Homo-oligomer: A and B are copies of this chain.
Amino acid sequence: MSKQTSSVFSVDVTGLDGAEGQPTYIRICDRIRSAITGGALVPNARLPSSRTLAKDFGVARNTVDEALSQLVADGYVIRRRGAGTFVATHLPERDSPPVRTKRAAPARPVAEERRLSVRARELASYPGQYRPQIAIPFTPSLPPVDLFPRSIWNRLLNREAARAGNDYWAYGASNGLPALREAIAAHASALRATRCAPDQVIVVTSTQQAVELAAKVIANPGDSAWVETPGYQPAQHCLRAAGLRVIPVPVDEQGIVVRTGRELEGRARLAYVTPAHQYPLGYEMSLPRRQELLDWALQSDAYVIEDDYDGDYRYEGRPIASLQGIDASGRVIYVGSFNKILFPGLRIAYAIVPRPLVGAFVDAKHVADGHTMTLTQGVLAAFITEGHLARHLRKTRTIYDERRRAFLEEARVLAPVLDLGPARAGMHVTGLFKAGGRKRLNDAAVAAECCRAGVNVHPLSKYGAVDRGGLVFGFAGASREASRRGLEVVRRVLMNN
């Protein structure tokens, strides 16, 4: 069967023939159930017709009907006469995701709540754990994993795993495999103009881990941290988890408004920013603003965490050097992640740390989880040094750029209601609801309705308090056709709201 994704819908139909020895309808059943329990198909979402599903799965229609009957019997979907088949509102207890999703009201008994720490209760207010996501338009920050050259990766994996010696099997260094730290230092300095030696690179699992470790090393509980508003919420959760007070600082076209930050809390211990491509508004921090931020950090003995999550993707103009690269005073902790540019299941990111902080950072990583898996680090080191990373970036840059152009063209249908922000870089674009429209739109309600119709846009309000509502679109995963159909859904929802 060819690799494809069910039209409009989010049931990934790839590799159905990979399962062992089960009847086809059971495999289809499993696939749809996983999409439901994984959260990709939300309650009340309408499934495509059995004819469409049969075509997508490449099977006879009665096989799909058999699978749907099974799912009805199991309570995962319901049939509404004349209306179609829908994901059940209440999923069966047995197979519902092990953790309640945050969207449903948590049903924790009060006594149990009391057993949890303040931190745990704070964590419970966050949007929730990762659920396996499959590619539907327009999930932001989800790289299209089908573009990743798995066969090359797997070849390197096999080769590295077969290597003699115990490097990949015994305990590894907490700061990471030397070969990978060297590869990262070279990559980041070539592409992002960072200035560092390999001993300043610390390999971690994810941006989140880097932010939490940085916060622990730099700040004491109760210290303050500036964050961009709107901004990347998971990073803020990490800062809070480390005991910090989070100070929301507004963002303008030049980036975080340092002046306002100084007014709100000049003595903050750190600032978390996304200078290359502000998340989610898409602005690039201007050079004067960068200097202003660095000046503040130096004067206040504070640090800047630079999250360069999509700095490798820029389609217009020349990439601005990283903040780390223009920092002469050692105030910047640069964070990069391969989970966003290769594949999310990888779990390798890194921090580039001012030399005086290196020892403490490595200690913190050691205490947090020992070290990151060594074999995977070895494979990634080979992937980088043998040129595959550069090739993959070139390839995806071209494809994302095509998709970006297609998205922007197709998005003209939204021009009457939405002001699209800058889209010169990265993998997403944010549209603000037009000011002075006939009524104030609720972006969360709009996004939820889009989601039920199989289009995953994020409401801007999810990223912190904002004056105007809006929607965040990830364009990197959507073909022109998917963009067109997805945007048509969004247009329809906006018209009806």
Contact = CB atoms under 8 A, between A and B. Distances in A.
Interface stretch (A156-164, A317-325, A415-423, A453-461): A156-164
Interface string A146-186: 10101001100110011111111111111100000100000
Given A124-B363, A161-B154, A363-B123, A209 B171 contact: no
A384 interface: no
B217 A117 contact: yes
Interface string A17-31: 110000000000000
Oligomer copy total: 2
Interface in A109-146: 109, 112, 114-121, 123-124, 126, 128-135, 142, 145-146
B116 A145 contact: no
A487 interface: no
Contacts of A119: 216-217, 220, 364
A98 B356 CA distance: 12
A8 interface: no
Contact of A171 (B99, B148, B172, B344): B344
A364 B241 CA distance: 8
Interface stretch (A246-254, A284-292, A366-374): A366-374
Nearest to A347: B373
A14 interface: yes
A146 B164 CA distance: 11
A367 B238 contact: yes
Given A170-B133, A371-B130, A217 B116 contact: yes
Of the listed residues A132, A367, A373, the one surrounded by the most CB atoms of chain B closer than 10 A to its CB is A367
Given A98-B199, A123-B363, A360-B120, A243 B221 contact: yes
Given A345-B373, A345-B374, A366-B130, A145 B170 contact: yes
A166 B134 contact: yes
Contacts of A146: 166
A337 to B, nearest CB: 10
B126 A142 contact: no
Of the listed residues A123, A158, A243, the one surrounded by the most CB atoms of chain B closer than 10 A to its CB is A123
Given A112-B356, A124-B363, A370-B206, A142 B170 contact: yes
B345 A170 contact: yes
A18 B164 contact: yes
A375 interface: yes
Nearest to A161: B154
Given A216-B119, A347-B369, A161 B157 contact: yes
Given A208-B369, A366-B128, A216 B120 contact: yes
Nearest to A378: B345
Given A206-B369, A217-B117, A12 B359 contact: no
A157 B162 CA distance: 11
A205 B366 CA distance: 12
A41 to B, nearest CB: 15
A456 to B, nearest CB: 13
A154 to B, nearest CB: 5
B123 A360 contact: yes
A386 interface: no
Contacts of A171: 130-133, 142, 344-345
Of the listed residues A106, A165, A372, the one surrounded by the most CB atoms of chain B closer than 10 A to its CB is A165
A363 B173 contact: no
Contacts of A429: none
A445 interface: no
Contacts of A166: 12, 14, 132, 134-135, 145-146
Given A97-B173, A99-B362, 9 more contacts: A38-B173, A98-B199, A128-B363, A129-B173, A133-B170, A157-B161, A171-B344, A208-B368, A209-B369
